[in-house]
Structure 1
Amino acid sequence: MRIGELAKLTDTPARSLRYYEQQGLITPRRLDNGYREYDDYLVERVLQIRGLIDSGIPTRIIKQMLPCLGEPRTIVVEDADPELLVVLARERDRMNRRIECLIRNRDAVDGYMRAVAEASPTAAAAAVGAL
């Protein structure tokens, strides 16, 4: 597939995909005409990369983690950045705090929706299936 299709499938700007390529996170094939050709497996890879970046993990650490993300999952630790475990522990703890916050917010939204539905039959009818 071409870069535009991968961008659309992953909701990732083409500019970001080129950056991922520059950082060694994805490797498209090159056609004879010089165009990039992206394999189907890169859709999942880009989604994983985006999720890790959104979690605050730098691309230099993601690059070291890539072998662990594919199938079969293979842990590779040679040439690991010495601060890798420190960075990953910090980011894992930050993710856990975000998850806890999201769970609290989800529960608050559910509680509010239930209260509105109980207080207003019209709102309850409109919210059928939302709870």
Structure 2
Amino acid sequence: MRIGELAERTGTPRRLLRYYEEQRLISAARLPNGYRDYDERNVDRVRQIRGLLDAGLPTRIIRQILPCLDSPRTIHFPDPEPEMIATLRAEMDRMSARIDCLVRNRDAIGSYLDAVLARDRSAAD
């Protein structure tokens, strides 16, 4: 697929897709006319990248962990840098805290919504 289709299917601007390619996060074959040709796997890959970026991971870390997200999973780091391990631990802790906060917020919204709907039902009776 061409870059425009990948951009449309993932909701990612073309400029960002080119950046992901520069950062070696995704790759594309080149057609004889020079256009990029992305295979279907890049749709999920771009979504994974966006999710990891939204979670706060830098592209240099994303590049290292992307192979771990493939099926079958391939986890191989011959010499993991202490900085990378510390960064991943910190990001995992930050994500866990964010998940906890999101769950609390979801539950609070659910309770509020339940109360509003119950009040509306009793007012209608």
**Fold in common (TM above 0.5):** yes
Query: What TM-score do the two structures reach when normalised by structure 2?
Result: 0.93
Matched AA of 1:18: R
Query: What TM-score do the two structures reach when normalised by structure 1?
Result: 0.89
- Which runs of 5 or more structure 2 residues have no equivalent in the other structure? none
Instruction: Give the structure 2 partner of residue 113 of structure 1.
Output: 113
1:79–1:39 CA distance, 2 compared to 1 (3 A):
farther
Instruction: Give the structure 2 partner of residue 46 of structure 1.
Output: 46
Instruction: Give the structure 2 partner of residue 60 of structure 1.
Output: 60
Relative contact order, CA 8 A, sep 6+: which one is greater?
A: 2
Contact kept in structure 2, 1:7 and 1:13, CA below 8 Å = yes
What is the rounded CA distance, in whole Å, between the counterparts of 1:16 and 1:37 in structure 2? 16
What is the rounded CA distance, in whole Å, between the counterparts of 1:20 and 1:81 in structure 2? 23
Q: Percent identity?
A: 59
Task: Provide, for residues 65-109 of structure 1, a one-character-per-residue CA deviation record: whole Å limited to 9, x for no partner.
Answer: 121111210102035443111000100111011101110110011
What is the rounded CA distance, in whole Å, between the counterparts of 1:19 and 1:123 in structure 2? 55
1:33 aligns to 2:33 (yes or no): yes
Task: Provide, for residues 49-73 of structure 1, a one-character-per-residue CA deviation record: whole Å limited to 9, x for no partner.
Answer: 1111111111001111121111210
Listed as ranges, the matches of 1:67-78 within 5 Å are: 67-78=67-78
User: How much has 1:26 moved relative to structure 2?
Assistant: 0.4
Count of matched residue positions in the alignment of Structure 1 and Structure 2: 124
What is the rounded CA distance, in whole Å, between the counterparts of 1:60 and 1:123 in structure 2? 56
1:84 aligns to 2:84 (yes or no): yes
Instruction: Give the structure 2 partner of residue 11 of structure 1.
Output: 11
Matched AA of 1:27: S
Instruction: Give the structure 2 partner of residue 129 of structure 1.
Output: none
